Chains A and B, each alone.
Chain A
Amino acid sequence: MDKPPLALDPNFSGASEDFPALLRRKGLLQIAPEPTGAAGGHTFIPTESTTILAFKFAGGVLVAGDRRATAGNTVVYDRADKVLEIDRHSIMAIAGVPATAWEMARVLEHSFQYFRRTQLQEMSVDGKVRALSKLLRDNFGFVMQGVGVVVPIFATYDGNSKPESRLYFYDAMGAQFEVTDYAATGSGSPAVRGILYYENHWGTKKLQELSEDEAVAIALRALDTAAEADTSTGGVDRSGKIFPLIKIVSQDGITTLPEEKIGQIFKQSVA
């Protein structure tokens, strides 16, 4: 008997596998080759042409990213979304190769939902953080071939074990680092890290005490500074009125700041 187009698997045992494993079983997720050193004798050069940043402030975690996508020296897109909502309380911001990063975000989003629907409970924050780590680790074979490096930031609100916002950054191999104050990755991140470190130590207020408007102002200044020296970071496009994408994670979920508001704060505190 021919299988119907969406056939049920007779050897089905959904509870024991996670969503990426399910996708691999169905041939829907590419499997990276074993990491065997840089291919063809080339030296591996990590390229993460972008700037993303996140820091905790009084109202939760602010996550911001510029909008520029580049291929070598060419700007290919000036409205890229690098700050992606994964579920009601989680944001993944991406630096690195967009194709891999967006696919990872998609896998992650579906993984969390798949887990909740099959297991009838929400995945823990530690489980979510680890799921992203595993995706990065599985992707490392591509990274070593010089394609598909992704260095994300993950921000979430933990409603369960200890209610507070949590912020992590990763390296390309999947190591996760929880931070107390701020994180920045991508080619423009050294400048941003400098600014956030300075603000946190010698600014008028610590980052964690900033109001929303103050936090947005600092995020815009940091991205503008990064764009000043880094060609791969879009910063704020003053002529085209393209502003960075800024989202906030708090107990109530995720808010995306409207462009008008960002524009207003930009005019007041940055330009």
Chain B
Amino acid sequence: MIEEPYRWVEAIANRREYIETQLAQGSPIAALGYCDGILFLTIGRRSRQKVYEIYDRIAMGAIGHPGDIERLRLAAIELASTEGFTRSAADVSLRRLAHYSLSPVMKGAFEQVYGPPYLARLLFAEVGSTAKEDLFLRVDYDGSLAADGLTGQPRQRFAVLSGTRQSAELMEKFLQKEHVTDAALPDAVNVALEAWSLGRMATSDTKELPERDAIRKYRDEQLASSSIEAAVLERDSKSAIRYRTLSDEELRSNLQR
């Protein structure tokens, strides 16, 4: 029995360490605003999908245990679908989904030391009718949230998800420098690929951004054996469903050398 409070704190700290170790190998995901919407991109093995459609205007990327990702993904789709059915698609909001449902549930699972936590880190984006209404939101395994665009308009218009804090910080540093909010899709794809490569290269003692050539060299090495997985949420789509997957071939055709 864990009776004393400090034991609980200790248990939580152990649990945090365990989960961080488990997630550390996760392949990064970048979500970037571009001229026509939001791009999700990662590189991975073909065996497992990592970017998903949640609802008309919401997409999700995730790293973690496939079983946990699946449970959270299905729960998010279920909530969004019933909300969209009983009210309207316009009433489905990422803010409410994350704040009122996912975050409390994930926090609850994480802190109840007798039950299993969710071994997953999620990245969501919701495309608005204008770029000012876009929302990028990250939900961690402990239910903590990081958002861009929740209060006022999004400032950075990008978000990253990675296995380690170092890797995520480096990717963010890189994107702050290289990301252009109204870039065309091929340019956004190139920046996203480089951000991914950088996040993947980063080790615990990488402090500074590597040279551009080194990043591209690493990217090409990885691309030789893996495939690009990407999807977009298009702003001015004629259909209500804004999510569209991009094929690997389509993406490779305009790779920058």
Contact = CB atoms under 8 A, between A and B. Distances in A.
Interface of A: 1, 4-9, 12, 14-15, 19, 22-23, 26, 28, 88, 106-107, 110, 113-114, 116-118, 120
Contacts of A118: 74, 77
7 contacts: A4-B104, A8-B75, A8-B101, A14-B78, A26-B82, A107-B85, A113-B241
Contact of A14 (B74, B96, B97): B74
Contacts of A14: 74-75, 77-78
A68 to B, nearest CB: 26
A22 B85 CA distance: 11
Interface residues of B, number: 27
Interface string B80-106: 011111100000000011001110110
Interface stretch (B38-46, B48-56, B214-222): B48-56
B49 A9 contact: no
A107 B85 CA distance: 8
- Of B55, B77, B82, most A-chain CB atoms within 10 Å: B82
Contact of B49 (A22, A114, A120): A120
Interface of B: 49, 52-55, 71, 74-75, 77-79, 81-86, 96-97, 100-102, 104-105, 108, 239, 241
Nearest to A110: B85
A5 B75 contact: no
Contacts of A116: 53
Contact of B85 (A1, A5, A7, A23): A23
Nearest to B108: A1
**Top 3 A-B residue pairs of the complex, sorted by shortest distance between their CB atoms:** A14-B74, A6-B101, A8-B105
A28 B78 CA distance: 13
Contacts of A88: 239
Given A5-B100, A7-B101, A12 B82 contact: no
A65 B85 CA distance: 25
Contacts of B85: 19, 23, 28, 106-107, 110
Nearest to A109: B85
Nearest to B103: A4
A6 to B, nearest CB: 4
Most B C-beta atoms less than 10 A away, residue of A9, A106, A107, A114: A114
Interface of B is mostly: helix
Contacts of B83: 6
B108 A113 contact: no
Given A7-B105, A8-B105, A9-B78, 8 more contacts: A4-B101, A5-B100, A14-B74, A19-B85, A28-B85, A106-B85, A110-B81, A120-B49
Contacts of A26: 82
A181 B105 CA distance: 53
Contacts of B82: 22-23, 26, 28
A8 B54 CA distance: 15
A198 to B, nearest CB: 38
Contacts of B71: 12
Contacts of B100: 4-6
A5 B102 CA distance: 11
A16 to B, nearest CB: 10
Given A4-B100, A117-B54, A19 B81 contact: yes
B79 A8 contact: yes
Interface centre among A14, A23, A28 (most CB of B within 10 A): A14
Contacts of B77: 14, 114, 117-118
B81 A114 contact: yes
B143 to A, nearest CB: 11
Nearest to A7: B101
Given A1-B108, A6-B100, A12 B75 contact: yes
Contacts of B86: 28
A33 B108 CA distance: 40
A1 to B, nearest CB: 7
A6 B84 contact: no
Contact of B53 (A4, A8, A117): A117
A9 B75 contact: yes
A6 B108 contact: no
Nearest to B81: A114
Contacts of A28: 82, 85-86
A106 B81 CA distance: 11
- Scoring A1, A7, A88 by chain B CB atoms within 10 A of each residue's CB, the highest score goes to A7
A160 B201 CA distance: 41
A77 to B, nearest CB: 21
B134 to A, nearest CB: 21
